[in-house]
Structure 1
Amino acid sequence: MEQAGGKTVFGASVGILMLNTRFPRIPGDIGNATTWPFPVQYNRVDAATPQNVVRGEATDLLGPFVDAGRELVALGCDGIATNCGFLAPFQTEMAAALGVPVAASSLLQAGLVQQTLPADRRLGILTISAETLGAAHLAAAGIPAGTPVVGTGAGSHFTEAILSDAARIDFAQARADNVAAARRLVADHPDVGAILLECTNMVPYAADIRAATGRPVFSIYTHLLWFQAALAPRRFGDRIDDTRLPDGQAP
């Protein structure tokens, strides 16, 4: 069987653009390759840091993200993601520039998640920085104004360790910070029926958040599982000619 070439790397359909960081990343984090049940390819955007993306003005970083994305596409990636939910405003321009599907932020799932909920329930967002997750970020993801947004807190270990790019993280405390914030979210907004994690570093605590709140939890992990499943659909069965279409015709 022949296969077409044209790429340098095969089998890693998802390329992930990373901020320039040094903090440790445990399984579940987008930047830990063991998180993914499929191969991924990484590229770092040197000019992007947690501080200037989350607490600063990221507009000037669009060019570096596009350039790094083009390197991944040229290498062989069929779709591009980023590792920060605050990059939702880059979605449209990155997709246009790269010419492949782009998943710039976990926040892009919001509309679909809302549609899964009963009419009297709404989506709530857990973020690393409620102080700086503004209207432009939400609007870029199609999230309506008034959607509950709760942060892990500017003084929390989780927030400060990530945004200061700490060399060490107390992951037990980070878990406690995330669970406490999730509990505040549902206590302050009892009508929240599902929680969406803005921050890609929150994924290791998703199961704990689910257990503590009883709400389903969506994240960059759920988003990229869906994303990759379309880029590299699973083949069912070894011989497609052994199957029959519903009308009885062979495929």
Structure 2
Amino acid sequence: MPLPPRGTGRIVHGRSNLYGYGVGILMIEGYFPRLPGAIGNATTFPFPVLHRIVKGATSAVTVRELSALPPDSDEYRAAVAPWIAGAQALEEDGVKAITTSCGFSAIFQRELAAAVNIPVFASSLLLAPLISRMLKPGRLVGVISADGGSLGPRHLIGAGVDPASIAVVGLEGCPHFEETTYADHHDLNIDLLEAEVVSVATRMVDDDPRIGAVLLECSLLPPFAAAVQAAVRLPVFDFTHLVNMVQGAVVRQPFNGFL
């Protein structure tokens, strides 16, 4: 076969050291295990994802401390700055969309989206308006949060969530979840943590019959989604649905079939 003339044929242009990543994930800093299904475990997804740790952004800081800072304060801006820098670095690495490993990142959804030129979906809470529209009027989205007491109006505004459309319960008071997530214990008892999550979900649905679907806000909870659904018999949504949806949008595949 003769060589094509120089400057013709199929040509690709480089712009990064890394290739083949659709979604980049900004990770809170924590060294507890991430089970398959958790967003911090790369085997959760059937496609490559690019993780980047945000140094200093622990679970306690992101979930419990950040929302207590005034949004116009120097302390808040300093806390959000490494997230913004991480998002910009992921964009430079060539990802096509960016998410995080914490639903509480909804509080700075707008800051992250403004800092880059690719889509940002910082929080699983972005699913809540969609789920709400699926339900019969008067039904609620039951949100299981890492900390219900810390999930406030600024998070909901960041995700575009109508507070009247959701019912929130938190995992505060669940000893194993607390010691794993906030104390960063490196040993995780899968059965114990699953029992805590299922217990919270069951109590939430029993207490409020208006709940028509469940949203697992925390990215550590998807490994227990099947057990939650078996217990409450409702649709159960989580962070992995959002990542898979965005991956499908930014890395479209041709349909295969026949007429």
Whether the aligned pair in 1 keeps the contact of 2:129 and 2:162 (CA below 8 Å) is: no
Name the residue aligned to 2:54: 45
| CA RMSD, Structure 1 to Structure 2 (Å) | 1.7
Task: Give yes or no for the alignment of 1:73 onto 2:91.
Answer: yes
Across the two proteins, how many residue pairs are aligned to each other? 240
- Matches for 1:21-170 after TM superposition, within 5 Å: 21-57=30-66, 59=76, 60-146=78-164, 147-170=166-189
- How far, CA to CA, are the matches of 1:193 and 1:163 in structure 2? 30
After TM superposition, which residue ranges in structure 1, 4 or more long, deviate above 4 angstroms? none
**Residue-by-residue CA offset, 1:183-231 (whole Å, 9 max, x unaligned):** 1111111110011111000010011111110111111101111111101
Question: Match of 2:163, SS?
Answer: coil
Which runs of 5 or more structure 2 residues have no equivalent in the other structure? 1-9, 68-75
Task: Give yes or no for the alignment of 1:190 onto 2:215.
Answer: no
The more displaced of 124-133 and 4-13 is 4-13
Question: Match of 1:148, SS?
Answer: strand
Once the two structures are aligned, what percentage of the paired residues are identical?
A: 38
User: Given residue 41 of structure 2, which amino acid in structure 1 is its aligned partner?
Assistant: N
Name the residue aligned to 2:255: 236
Question: Match of 2:66, SS?
Answer: coil
- How far, CA to CA, are the matches of 1:135 and 1:91 in structure 2? 13
- How far, CA to CA, are the matches of 1:116 and 1:105 in structure 2? 19
Task: Give yes or no for the alignment of 1:213 onto 2:222.
Answer: no
The alpha carbon displacement at 1:151 in A equals: 1.1
- How far, CA to CA, are the matches of 2:90 and 2:189 in structure 1? 32
- How far, CA to CA, are the matches of 1:218 and 1:61 in structure 2? 29
Question: Match of 1:119, SS?
Answer: coil
Whether the aligned pair in 2 keeps the contact of 1:186 and 1:192 (CA below 8 Å) is: yes
Q: TM-score, normalised by structure 1?
A: 0.91
Name the residue aligned to 1:222: 241
The alpha carbon displacement at 1:237 in A equals: 4.0
The alpha carbon displacement at 1:32 in A equals: 0.6
- How far, CA to CA, are the matches of 2:21 and 2:234 in structure 1? 32
User: Given residue 254 of structure 2, which amino acid in structure 1 is its aligned partner?
Assistant: R
